Homo-oligomer: A and B are copies of this chain.
Amino acid sequence: MDKLTIKTLAKELQLSVSTISKALRDSHEISAATKRKVLALAEQLNYSPNPYASSLRKRKSKTIGVVIPEVVNSFFSQAINGIESVAKEKGYHVLIYLTHENLDNEKAILKDFESGRVDGVLLSASRETINSTHISGLIKKDVPVIFFDRVFDDVETVKVITNDFESAYTATKHLITSGCKNPHFLSIISNLNIISNRIDGYKKALQEHHIKFSNSNIINCTTNWEHNYKLLLKKMQSSKKPDGILCSIENLSVLIYQVCEDLNIKIPDDLQIVSFSNLDTASFLNPPLTTVTQPAYEIGSVAAATLVKALEKKNFIIPNENIVIPSVLIKRKSTKNKILS
């Protein structure tokens, strides 16, 4: 049995390959009758065109590359959901790559993309990433890169983000008005401006309430659970221990609960908690976790839609703009929600 290609159809129907090709792609040059015949035979033989031959010829892969730090994370998995929904609708395929928060991985992935494997890239940077130099190669090769969530200001492209500064500000203010005198900021070591923006929002709230900020207010975690656990444990046993925490990373909120359980610290009486988090289970934690819930699905779908738009329009220049989709503070029982008089 021969390989089933466009040639097979051509021979069978006594038509040229180009006619078949055009018919399959519903070209206006081809008569309705011919199209029908071609489609019928294709259907009958169960023909499907080789996408790589097509990609090679058209220099378009109809594929987008998604690069994220991790996937076991409500935010990122919801973002993937959003990305997939528009990819599917627009006929794009989604290649997924995880950096595991490692810059070298990120570099290698983006380097690979210079081969033309993907038409465009959706990137959320690793926590180790400090600048955008490793992106310039891609930009130079005209592969559009759109950032989401963890972005870099110095790259001229669309960045789809949430209002990190305001969210952190609002969340911190919520802690303070709920009685916290010494709110801390729990985060990861990173130069990501998503982190610095949140810190700035946090600081602004402190300032407004005349609470002195010191660097020790910021608890910097790594990717090592044991290390983080000991770090926080120590912090919660220190003399100047926090009475409130704004947690900047979803996965770290579990850490806080663990430490509180082990030290018998009562939430929210001894410690109030707000976390950036998209956990479905936030309402059912003990106690229910007050969250800054990010519009993860929308961030993903808007980023993907913007990318596809850039890909489809020829000569479309990606504007250098921030698309900001706000987060929402959902108050639950891990904070006291009392109003200072």
Contact = CB atoms under 8 A, between A and B. Distances in A.
Interface of A: 46, 48-53, 55-56, 61, 63, 70-74, 77-78, 80-81, 84, 88, 93-98, 111-112, 114-117, 137, 251, 254, 257-258, 261, 279-281, 283-288
Nearest to A83: B96
A78 B73 CA distance: 9
Contacts of A281: 254, 279, 281, 285
29 contacts: A46-B137, A48-B114, A48-B115, A51-B116, A52-B56, A52-B117, A70-B81, A71-B71, A72-B77, A72-B78, A77-B77, A80-B96, A84-B98, A93-B95, A93-B117, A94-B97, A95-B95, A96-B96, A251-B280, A254-B281, A254-B283, A257-B283, A258-B283, A258-B284, A261-B284, A281-B281, A284-B285, A286-B287, A286-B288
A79 to B, nearest CB: 10
A51 B254 contact: no
Nearest to A277: B281
Which of A50, A78, A84, A281 has the most C-beta atoms of chain B within 10 angstroms of its own C-beta? A281
A84 to B, nearest CB: 5
Contacts of A115: 48-51
Contact of A71 (B81, B93, B280): B81
Q: Is the interface of A mostly helix, strand, loop or mixed?
A: mixed
A225 to B, nearest CB: 11
A116 B284 contact: no
Contacts of A251: 280
Contacts of A96: 80, 84, 94-96
Nearest to A84: B98
Given A114-B46, A117-B51, A284-B254, A95 B98 contact: no
A21 to B, nearest CB: 15
A284 B286 CA distance: 6
Contacts of A88: 98
A258 B258 CA distance: 23
B116 A98 contact: no
A285 to B, nearest CB: 5
A107 B106 CA distance: 33
Contacts of A288: 286
A286 B283 CA distance: 9
A112 B48 CA distance: 8
A70 B283 CA distance: 22
Given A71-B84, A84-B97, A254-B280, 13 more contacts: A48-B114, A51-B117, A52-B116, A53-B56, A70-B81, A71-B77, A71-B81, A73-B77, A84-B96, A93-B117, A254-B281, A285-B285, A286-B288
